[in-house]
């Protein structure tokens, strides 16, 4: 996924159709996108890409790229076992932090700041 991010830090949010917490997390991710514009945020949809094609929700005014992983290559490779799962990756594609389950705003923003600080080194 490092090549997808084009040398930027990446927050990859693994989602599945019908996952209520996945949709609710988009609001936090939209806020994160505004606060940390140098970090790329993408959804990795492991089910039907048509269900979440835009990567938006009415409450979130941000649009995220959606990576279709309907063959399971990414979620298996990153050992995702619950949805949502969020991976924070450095610009080389290394996983720096991982959140299994619904996101907590304070924790997400703290981890994102740590990721951004690492990129400055």
**Domains in the chain, number:** 1
49/67: higher pLDDT: 67
Nearest alpha-carbon partner for 9 in 116, 106, 83: 116
Per-residue model confidence (pLDDT) at position 56: 46
DSSP reduced 3-state for 13: strand
Provide the CATH number for the domain around residue 15: 3.40.30.10
Q: How far apart are CA 9 and CA 121, in angstroms?
A: 13
Supply the pTM of this predicted model.
Answer: 0.85
Estimate the crossing angle of helix 20-35 against helix 105-120, to 10 degrees. 40
Which structural domain, as residue segments, surrounds residue 77? 2-120
- Residue bearing the bigger pLDDT, 65 or 109: 109
**Nearest Cα to 103, choosing from 36, 2, 20?**
20
Contact 55, 26 (CB under 8 A): yes
**DSSP H or E run through 45:** strand 39-45
Q: Which helix (H) or strand (E) holds 116?
A: helix 105-120
Q: What is the average pLDDT across 62-83?
A: 88
């Amino acid at each position: 996924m490092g090549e997808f991010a084009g040398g930027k830090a990446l927050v990859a949010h693994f989602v599945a159709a019908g996952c209520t917490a996945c949709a609710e997390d988009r609001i936090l991710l939209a806020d994160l996108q505004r606060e940390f514009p140098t970090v790329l945020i993408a959804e990795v949809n492991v089910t039907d890409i048509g269900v979440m094609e835009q990567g938006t929700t009415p409450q979130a005014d941000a649009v995220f790229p959606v990576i279709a992983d309907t063959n399971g290559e990414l979620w298996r490779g990153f050992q995702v076992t619950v949805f949502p799962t969020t991976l924070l990756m450095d610009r080389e594609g290394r996983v720096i932090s991982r959140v299994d389950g619904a996101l907590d705003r304070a924790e997400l923003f703290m981890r994102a700041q740590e990721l951004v600080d690492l990129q400055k080194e």
